[in-house]
Amino acid sequence: MTDTNRRVIFAKRPEGWVTPDCFRVEDAPIPDLADGDVLTRNIVMSVDPYMRGRMSDRKSYAAGFELGETMNAGAVGEVIASKNKNVPVGTVVNGMLGWETHTLVKGGAGLMPVDARAAPLSYYLGILGMPGFTGYYGLLNIGEPKPGETVYVSAASGAVGQVVGQIARIKGCRVVGSAGDDEKCAWAMESCGYDVCFNYKKVDSYAKALREHCPDGIDVYFENVGGEMLDAVLANINPYARIALCGMISQYNLVKPEGISNIQSLLINRAMIRGFIISEHFDGLPGFIADMTGWMKEGKLKYRETVAEGIDSAPAAFIGMLKGENFGKQIIRVGADPA
Amino acid sequence: MTDTNRRVIFAKRPEGWVTPDCFRVEDAPIPDLADGDVLTRNIVMSVDPYMRGRMSDRKSYAAGFELGETMNAGAVGEVIASKNKNVPVGTVVNGMLGWETHTLVKGGAGLMPVDARAAPLSYYLGILGMPGFTGYYGLLNIGEPKPGETVYVSAASGAVGQVVGQIARIKGCRVVGSAGDDEKCAWAMESCGYDVCFNYKKVDSYAKALREHCPDGIDVYFENVGGEMLDAVLANINPYARIALCGMISQYNLVKPEGISNIQSLLINRAMIRGFIISEHFDGLPGFIADMTGWMKEGKLKYRETVAEGIDSAPAAFIGMLKGENFGKQIIRVGADPA
């Protein structure tokens, strides 16, 4: 067993886009365990859009990252040392671990064992994890899609969007998406249940593109993007439309957010926007796991990842994900699967 | 019985603010009744903000007014001629009648009898009518106020706002309002249940005023105004805030709507905005009437009107209402109460 931990430190707050110098990679000794502590060898790690908010010192729903500390993220690891009888050596766990090869988890707090044989470990960070549950909850509990309705998803091929599209299709909806390149769009239509997916970088006007691709209007919008796209959607919603507000990735790197001009459409159409944070709905997890594994067994769900190799690749993978360079869920492979 | 009808014709579509030349007052003969028709002598008439939308040719929730036709509005009248056995002469009715002294109602459609002894007839256009029901429904069914929460109402002394404030107070909330002059603010605090009402024309910044007057944040916002005020509210909402979107009077006369910059606050606070149109919720009317008359009997509700005299005063009263010159519900007295 190594006694060195390679880790990514939060070195500088970004203004606007995140840049590589916001991070510093370094080696450090692995600290000693106190009673109750657990040490993980990290295997796969997630980078997600909400982390951008944690890098600002603005108030947000997730606690901010502290400068000089190790970044952290949802990850799956294997327990390789333990002074906690509830989490013995050899357990494979899912939890908030560091951007690092090894994490000392104080008191073993927040670790959930995962079944390493039921699915690839990275699935617990994606389709069976937080992003999958986000798509499932937001679509079904806020969007409440009905058969024949039009569902629009603004980041169709992302970790969340690919789940939303497939569930919307299962629910009998017409599913329209957008993504930032042609290959992503083609894949969303081939594999993620989208009837149409258009490349938003190639259209003159979002509003015009939505009018064309949603000729019957939009009944449900799963919002990941914000800004100009939300405004265009508001111009195209149907009466009683529901908008599940999950994220606004287009706005996270702007110093001043874009304005929304079409709020009156909510009134005219008696429509609703609701923001949600998936961590507040964990009571719905059992239903989610049951539905998703059922649909997977029936062959109704597909899933795609982009994997970056090694902890040193985390900053670039995170920055690329914020720019939309990943294709499917962005994962960092930190270490090998358990033998 | 006169054979002349004095009426207000929609003469010109406004661009921006409504001006007197959008209307033309004229005399016309009273037409003959066909089988099923009813003729009313109009007594009191309402002018309401949503009518501004009906003067545009933009799509909205209420059918547009046609140029060259008589304006119409909610009004109470007395049936003075009838070829409809369901609506006999002498019935006092509430319905969409013309901006005119007499209205021929084809087939007697949409007329509701009112109890002329239970309350002043104008109350059926206000606290016991559409504006009162709007405040009641939006506050209770969308705002869902809980005791101790802070409710903010942006047009505190208006036809709707005075009802919202009083019901919020009955429900045990801290009630904060704003209005456009000091006298209205004083009256809202004295008579409409508001703990605080500030003059929005005298503050440097809406956001700063809201921070000061809602030190515990805003849990429920009853939105009548839109634009900059909505943005300021979004900057001051609490987690799980509910915004009932009833109107956006600040925007109706703008050629291009103001932008909203703080939509992200909905996500951060897991908050909700829902637009509603009261005419879709008439199934709730019996509960509304029962609650309101109960509270009135207990002395818990007060009500204030501004009355303009004569049908010729309707255009000026409507324009004044859009500018906030009315104090309480704006009513036009068209004719005398029934003997």
pLDDT digits (tens, 9 = 90+) for B142-151: 999 999 999 9
| Per-residue pLDDT reduced to its tens digit, A270-280 | 999 999 998 88
Number of neighbouring beta carbons within 10 Å of residue A336: 9
> A246 to chain B: which residues are within 8 Å by CB?
267
B4-to-A9, A293, B36, B82 alpha-carbon distances in Å: 85, 75, 21, 17
Indicate yes or no: CB of A263 within 8 angstroms of CB of B61.
no
Annotate B61-97 with b (16+ C-beta within 10 A) or e (fewer).
beeebeeeebbbbbbbbbbbbbebeebeeebbbbbeb
Is the predicted ipTM greater than 0.85, yes or no? no
pLDDT tens for each residue of B78-111: 999 999 999 999 999 999 998 999 999 999 988 9
Q: What is the DSSP string of A144-187?
A: ---TT-EEEESSTTSTTHHHHHHHHHHTT-EEEEEESSHHHHHH
Listing DSSP states for A18-57 in one string gives --GGGEEEEEEEPPPPPTT-EEEEEEEEE--THHHHHTSS
Nearest-CA distance B232 → chain A (Å): 13
Contacts of B322 (CB under 8 A, 6+ apart): B17, B18, B49, B52, B249, B252, B253
Q: What is the pLDDT of residues B158-169, one digit of tens each?
A: 888 999 999 999
Per-residue pLDDT band for B225 (boundaries 50, 70, 90) equals: confident
More confident residue, B214 or B284: B214
pLDDT of residue A252: 58
Which residue from B230, B256, B270 is facing A276, i.e. has the nearest CB?
B270
Least confident segment among A83-97, A183-197, B47-61: B47-61
Residues of A in contact with B266 (CB under 8 A): 245, 273-275
Residue B220: the pLDDT is 98
Q: Which amino acid is at B200?
A: Y
Chain-wide mean pLDDT for chain B?
Answer: 91
Looking at domain B4-126+303-333, its CATH architecture is: Alpha-Beta Complex (3.90)
What is the residue type of A8?
V
Q: Are B123 and B283 in contact (CB under 8 A)?
A: no
**Distance to chain A for B277, nearest Cα, Å:** 7
CATH 3.20.20.100 assigned to domain A4-125+304-333? The reply is: no
> Is the pLDDT assigned to residue B179 strictly greater than 70?
yes
With CB atoms and an 8 Å threshold, state whether B270 touches A280.
yes
Using the predicted structure, report yes or no on whether residue A251 has a pLDDT greater than 80.
no
Q: Identify the pLDDT of residue B118.
A: 74
Residue of B nearest to A272 (CA): B274
At residue A11, what are phi and psi to the nearest 5 degrees? Answer: -100, -30
Q: Classify domain A130-280 at the CATH topology level.
A: Rossmann fold (3.40.50)
Q: Which residue among A247, A260, A270 sits closest to B267, beta carbon to beta carbon?
A: A247
Within B135-288, strands assigned E span 150-153, 174-179, 196-199, 218-223, 237-245, 272-275
Judged by CB atoms closer than 8 Å, whether chains meet at B266 and A274 is answered as yes
A contact test, residue of B263, B274, B278 with most A CBs within 10 A: B263
| Cross-chain CB nearest to A267 (options B248, B256, B262) | B248
Assign A300 to helix, strand or coil. Answer: coil
- Structure token pair of residue A71: 């970044």
The fraction of chain B above a pLDDT of 70, given in percent, is 96
What does pTM read for this prediction? Answer: 0.79
Q: What span, in angstroms and rounded, lies between the C-alpha atoms of A210 and B152?
A: 35
Q: How many CB atoms lie within 10 A of CB A127?
A: 28
Position A132: which residue type? G
Residue B249: band (very low, low, confident or very high) from pLDDT cuts 50, 70, 90: low
Confidence of residue A255 (pLDDT cuts 50, 70, 90): low
* Domain layout of chain B by residue ranges: 4-126+303-333, 130-280
User: Is the distance from CB of B223 to CB of B251 less than 8 angstroms?
Assistant: no
User: Among the residues of B171-284, which ranges form H helices?
Assistant: 182-191, 206-213, 228-234, 264-268
Q: Write down the mean pLDDT value for chain A.
A: 91
Residue A257, pLDDT score: 67
Closest chain B residue by Cα to residue A276:
B270
Q: Which of B248, B259, B275 sits opposite A271 (nearest CB)?
A: B275
Banded model confidence at residue A186, pLDDT cuts 50, 70, 90: very high
Sign of CA dihedral A276, A280, A283, A289: positive
Contacts of A273 in chain B (CB under 8 A): 263, 266, 272-274
Q: Is the pLDDT of residue A157 over 90?
A: no
Q: What is the mean pLDDT of residues A101-126?
A: 89
Query: pLDDT (tens digit, 9 = 90+) per residue, B1-32?
Result: 678 999 999 999 998 899 999 999 999 999 99
Whether B255 shows a pLDDT value over 80: the answer reads no
Q: What pLDDT does A254 receive?
A: 59
Q: Which residues contact A334 (CB under 8 A, 6 or more apart)?
A: A42, A43, A44, A45, A75, A77, A101, A310, A311
Q: Is the CB of A267 less than 8 angstroms away from the CB of B246?
A: yes
Taking residues A228-255, what's their average pLDDT? 84
